[in-house]
A and B are shown apart, each in its own frame.
Chain A
């Protein structure tokens, strides 16, 4: 990091604007993810439409960030920390966009749900959703504070996301095992669970990009994997 400002003020502004766009995109993604989790658990079909429509805003921001980055690249030929900021922002914005897409996919599963969720399935799904939301909030905070330690913690915590995903999947499988009538609901819920897990993977990507931005090196070593996750 550098505490010094650029001699060229407009360069400083361009990087600041880029930062602002990313933060805006982050908070939008955060609320989309929160809304979709809330809506799926309550089977709130009205909110679903709103969430689906809102995804366009995230995509717009992504396009804006792409443009801002192209401008910085050609105008400034950024070096060192500026280069890492630019490239990491590009990658992070794409991961945020994907998380937004996954929130939208979750929302899309709400409408065809045949009835409310059985109580026994709500607990795990909520825990998984809460954890992934917490991970996203933390990674956005870590980005704001350029915290290398938080980036590492978030990256490691994906193991818990994998574990909770497994639990949730197993519960849905048990529920399906009880009756063939449960097939439709169970199928939708398996997709939903998988989508949340994938949102978690994008969060770890963001943690990796952030670590690279700060350190100029890649996070080393394999991320710990939740037990049995490979079998799914």
Chain B
């Protein structure tokens, strides 16, 4: 099922780390309530790209971002944007699960707390429970909510991070290689979760597994040396990509 509503649109997006250009005129539309996979060799700029969407590159001093980034048609690549409320709309999950050194409960309630989403403890309990349920973790942790998040297994920690990301009701979830440290079962759980989450959220996932891109995404973009080489439906990309570079990469022919 291909959705045509554009949620995120970048136009002539260029990113520099000091003198080094990491992204080169990237024009990409990310469709609403779909999973978009970004693939490409190490260092091609995938992480840099998704970090633009929630302005995470702001924290890197030498990083400069030019061009336009629109979310629902609103420019976010400008000074006046309130980055905190932007990040409430755009959650992020990293390659290495990174729970806060706090309890499982506090990991999930942290965001809603900051953004003032719960007026009382009952409401907060509710948010924590639904977030953990959506992240398919509730049954495994409901009796140990006060234990530290770091006491969970890697796969559980990753789902905790997803629960944390969705606890603030974001519109977009960015995932940077979320399964690279997980076993096949934990990976399957996250992939199943993505199928569920895409009904309500727009998801962008960076992955090094072409098979995973095929399993979870509806569209795929291929990056190479900071350029977006090709973007199309995932089916088109894995059956018959237009660009030879895309084909050589996904078939393992890249030099």
Contact = CB atoms under 8 A, between A and B. Distances in A.
Interface of A: 2, 4-8, 11, 76-84, 215-217
Q: How large is the interface on B (under 10, 10 to 19, 20 to 34, 35 or more residues)?
A: 10 to 19
A14 to B, nearest CB: 12
B215 to A, nearest CB: 10
Q: Which secondary structure characterizes the binding site on chain B?
A: helix
A83 B236 CA distance: 12
Contacts of B239: 80, 83-84, 216
B248 A2 contact: yes
Contacts of A215: 240
Interface string B226-255: 000000000001111100101110111111
B85 interface: no
B211 interface: yes
A216 B247 CA distance: 12
By Cβ-Cβ distance, the 3 closest A-B pairs, closest first, are A216-B240, A4-B253, A79-B250
A138 B247 CA distance: 29
B252 A7 contact: yes
B210 interface: yes
B238 A7 contact: no
A217 B240 contact: yes
Given A7-B253, A79-B214, A81-B251, 11 more contacts: A2-B244, A2-B251, A2-B253, A6-B251, A6-B252, A78-B251, A79-B238, A83-B238, A84-B239, A84-B240, A217-B240
B149 to A, nearest CB: 34
A6 B136 CA distance: 39
Nearest to B239: A216
A79 B248 contact: no
Contacts of A4: 248, 253, 255
Contacts of A82: 251
B251 A8 contact: no
A80 B252 contact: no
Contacts of A5: 253
Contact of A77 (B211, B244, B247): B211
Q: In this complex, which of A4, A11, A76, A79 has the most chain B Cβ atoms within 10 angstroms of its Cβ? A: A79
Nearest to B236: A216
A6 B253 CA distance: 4
B202 to A, nearest CB: 25
